Amino acid sequence: MTKSEFLSLLNQGTFLFDGAMGTELQARGLPIGEVPEKWNFSNPDALADIHKKYADAGARAVTTNSFGGSPHKLKSCSLQDKAYEVNKIAAEIARKAVGDSCLVAGSVGPTGALLMMGELSESEMASGFEIQIKGLVDGGADLIILETFSDPDEIKIALQAAKAVTDLPVITSMTFEHGAKGFRTMMGTDIPTAVKTLEDAGADILATNCGTGIDKAVEIVAEMRQNTSMLICAEPNAGLPKLVNGKATYLETPEQMSARIPDLINAGVQIVGGCCGTTPEHIRLFSEVIARL
């Protein structure tokens, strides 16, 4: 999909992405601590089921099971030499599951390495992202979403890697936490700095995801909108996780989150979706609210 084609879709009204992948996999038996991308090989039917349920709920784009698909990240399960295959298969599973009913967004998350600590060089990081993104593109992704980044330098490297291997639209999403100094990433980057960094780096769409529930997401988007005229995407968690019977549980219900979708849109988003803890039922209610606006 070309950038102009995707942008024309966004001009038709609020665009709905899917919800969480990781917590949905855990609900289907993925053990805590196991690498989700291993299921691209061992349990593709579970992935296909998740994609189908989100599409049936009204999502217009589904996100691949490739968040941790960089070679560096895949070292933990000895799949680093199969990074291209991991990502290509992830995109193929999603495409086959939804056909032409939805777009496929290729998910790219951070490597987990700290540039400032020299755990990876910039060139090594860039090469890894290029391998990952090439796999997603060859597997049939319509766009790329760089999500849950906290280091502006790392997301810039990922964005440059995407532009080196594809002309597909790229969404750049950072995660912000609220503290005494306002909203900042874990690396200390505030919203105005993040926005300017990504604009200058050539991002197609700005975004925020994870980290918080929808109430804070409304505030984050409002501050982003004060600092940019670019398109904005928001995919909040279903609240912060709480330990319930020994299990991390996300407590914001579909009803609670969907009630604030109009506020999120009024704050300035063009794309809405969900992150950790959101389910097909969340997306179904989001879709119903959006249809009424």
- pLDDT of the residue at 119: 86
Contacts 24+ apart (CB under 8 A), 285-292: 285/254, 285/255, 285/257, 285/258, 286/16, 286/58, 286/257, 286/258, 286/261, 287/16, 287/57, 287/58, 287/59, 288/58, 288/258, 289/258, 289/259, 289/261, 289/262, 290/13, 290/14, 290/16, 290/261, 290/265
Give the pLDDT score at 103: 98
Planar angle of CA 186, 253, 28, nearest 5 degrees: 80
- Cα gap 269→198, rounded to integer Å: 17
Q: How far is CA 267 from the centre of its chain?
A: 20
Domain-wise residue ranges, the chain: 3-292
- The pLDDT score that the predictor gives to residue 20 is 98
pLDDT for position 236: 98
Superfamily of domain 3-292: Homocysteine-binding-like domain (3.20.20.330)
Residue ranges of the chain with per-residue pLDDT less than 50: none
Nearest-angstrom CA–CA distance, 219 and 176: 11
Q: Using CA atoms, how far apart are residues 237 and 281, in angstroms rounded to an integer?
A: 14
Q: What is d(CA 236, CA 96) in angstroms, rounded to the nearest whole number?
A: 27
Question: Across-strand partners of 45?
Answer: none
Distances (CA, A) of 6 to 34, 68, 167: 34, 25, 12
